[in-house]
Amino acid sequence: MKRENNNFAETEDKEAVEMGLTMVGIFALADPLRPGVAEAIDTCHKAGVNVRMCTGDNLDTATAISLQAHIIIPSDISDNENRNLVCMTGKDFRE
């Protein structure tokens, strides 16, 4: 196919590979929290402990995990202005 399409030298040549394709499906994976994590964090909060999480995930993923774990609550991120107060990227943390 490469030889038949000018060794894919131009964009138009490369498009030959993308013709007639059918997408079979898309899926996503999520690692569930370990049992008891949210309850343990609730106990920490009741004891006055302020829980923080460090992760290499992107901000949206970290926010979703923090919500599931009860580290933050929905009202903490109700608007974009407050969101930066509870979550930050590694870059922002290092600065």
- pTM here? 0.60
In this predicted structure, the answer to whether residue 84 has a pLDDT above a threshold of 70 is no
Q: Radius of gyration of the chain from Cα atoms?
A: 23
User: What's the CA gap between 84 and 66, in Å, rounded?
Assistant: 14
- Look at residue 80 in the predicted model and tell me its pLDDT: 53
Contact 32, 66 (CB under 8 A): no
pLDDT tens-digit map of 1-46? 888 888 888 888 888 888 888 888 888 777 899 999 999 999 999 9
> Residues with Cβ < 8 Å from 73, sequence gap 6 or more?
67
> In the Cβ-directed half-sphere of 42, how many Cα atoms lie within 13 Å?
7
* DSSP codes of every residue in 15-45: GGGGTT----------PPPPTTHHHHHHHHH
In this predicted structure, the answer to whether residue 81 has a pLDDT above a threshold of 60 is no
User: For the chain, what are the domain ranges?
Assistant: 3-94
